[in-house]
Every structure is written in C-alpha cells, then in structure tokens.
Amino acid sequence: MMELVLALLIWAAGWGLNAWLARSAVSETRAVQFLVPFIFGATLVLVWEMVVRGLNVPMVILPAPSVIAMRFASSLPILWVDFVQTFLKGALGGYVIGCAAAFLVAILVDRYDFLRRGLLPVGNFVAALPIVGTAPILVMWFGFDWQSKAAVVVVMVFFPMLVNTVAGLREASAMQRDLMQTYAASYGQAFFKLRLPAAMPFIFNGLKISTTLALIGAIVAEFFGSPTLGMGFRISTSVGQLALDMVWAEIVVAALAGSAFYGVVALVEKAVTFWHPSQRA
C-alpha cells in the first residue's frame, strides 16, 4: 500500500516539476529541453518499480526495473555474445551489403530512364510489403547462422534505400545540370560534384530508415531458427522459460543498439550535409 501511495506522489512530483520547468523562463535552454524528457522517463521507471512492488506483480508478468537492471549487470557476457551475433554480424553485415547494393542499383536505374520508369513503381510497391515474411525462406537457404539473418536484412533495407537514392539523384535542378553542361563536365564529374552531394539528404534518409529495419529483420529472423545465441533467440527461449527479466534485458540492449545505430548515422549525416537548410537551423 505504501508503495502505491509513493508511486502516486512520485508521479505528481515528476509531472509538477516538468510543468514548472516547461512554463519557466529557462524552458528554451538546451539543458531543460534535455532534462524534461529525462525526468519524465525517470518518473515512469520509478512508478513502474513502486507499482510492481506495491501490487506484488509476479515476475512472470512484469519484472521490476531494479530486477531487470540486476539481471542486465549479471549477464553482461551473454548479452555481449548475443549482441555480436545479432547486431554486429547479422544486422550490420546485412545493412552494409544491402545499402551498398541498393546504392549501386540506384545509379544504374538513374542512368537508364527505362529502368527508372519500370523499377521504381515496383520498388515502391515492395517497400510497403511485410518483407520479414521472407525470413523462413532465407533461413532455409542460408542456414541457421548469421548469414541468413544478414540476407533477411539485405532484402529489407534494399528497397527503401533504392527508392530514396533514386529520388535523391534527381534532386539537382535543371538549372544546376545546365551549368554543369556549359562547363562541359563529363557524366562522372557532374555525378560526383553535383548530383551525389545533392542526393546526400535523401541517401541519409534511406540510411536512417534502414537502421531500424536492419535490427527488426535480424531479430525477427531468429524466431525462425538460429544457433543457440542471438538476441531474437534469447528473447524467444527466455519467454518460453518465463525468465522475463532476461527478455527485458535483451530489449534494453536492442533499444540501446537501435538508438545508438541511428544516432551514429545521424551524426555522419550532420557532418556530410552540413550545407543543407535542415542542418543549419
């Protein structure tokens, strides 16, 4: 009972603090912009902890954050091995191959108008389909190890990346292209000096969308069969053993890996497309 009252108090205090911060004069500063969501998140975690303790929620339904944190700290080696298997080998391997292949195909598609007409609608169509469904087929073809997960990721990231890159390569305006022509620039010169830089915001958009897809693909593919390691494998077996603290620990890893991956790509984008209006704000 005590804990439930405490949970209510914490919630009220956190929300009140945020309301005060948001209305205060310093609400536009960077520190506060960062602090407010942090307080909100911390409040949620504390309330979660108190409610789980107060109601004696069994661990097979919802473990308390402290239990998850302890499990996380005590099984770092397992989590690391799973992370290497699923993220570094499966997701990252497939991401690099898939994005590179899509980029090269996009250059071809852009070069030949016929391909652009024909392949782009097909690509747009495929990009909206539930491609994770190919996982059982690819697991059958490439075996249980990370190669099949990388293959799923390749298929998942290929079309979003292709569509974005092709759209980007058409971004340079007719005026700019004409200017290149008056300079007697070759295709290669115009490509590297004008069209590729102009395409960068679109390419990075594709790269950013693909980061999330890559992790989803690698994790879901492991539900269809994997060696005895990997984040998806650990999640599905731990769920079977009702070891939910382990499941949550893996989810924390997945969340950290996903946002770090996205963050790194966004940082590179900032460095490459520093000239773009959206980055100069």
Applying CB under 8 A, the residues found at the interface with another protein are 15, 18-19, 21-23, 27, 32-33, 36-37, 39-41, 60-62, 114-115, 117-119, 121-122, 125, 128-130, 132-137, 139-141, 211-212, 215-216, 219-220, 223-225, 231-232, 235-236, 239-240, 242, 244, 247-248, 250-251, 254-255, 258-259, 261-263
Please state the closest distance from residue 37 (CB atom) to another protein, in A.
4
> ∠ CA 4-247-253 to the nearest 5 degrees?
100
Q: Which is nearer to another protein, 155 or 172 (CB)?
A: 155
Please state the closest distance from residue 186 (CB atom) to another protein, in A.
27
Please state the closest distance from residue 3 (CB atom) to another protein, in A.
21
What would the two tokens of residue 158 be? 């290929």
Q: Which is nearer to another protein, 190 or 235 (CB)?
A: 235
Question: Is residue 242 classed as helix, strand or coil in its secondary structure?
Answer: coil
Q: Which is nearer to another protein, 167 or 262 (CB)?
A: 262
Residue in 50, 24, 46 with CA at minimum distance from that of residue 35? 24
Residue in 226, 245, 209 with CA at minimum distance from that of residue 81? 226
Tracing tokens 């292709």 back to the chain, one arrives at 162
Please state the closest distance from residue 22 (CB atom) to another protein, in A.
5
Q: Which is nearer to another protein, 158 or 198 (CB)?
A: 158
Q: Where are the alpha helices (DSSP H) in the chain?
A: 2-23, 30-54, 65-74, 76-83, 92-111, 113-127, 135-142, 146-169, 174-182, 187-190, 196-222, 231-240, 244-272, 277-280
Q: Which is nearer to another protein, 67 or 262 (CB)?
A: 262
Please state the closest distance from residue 49 (CB atom) to another protein, in A.
18
Tracing tokens 């293959």 back to the chain, one arrives at 151
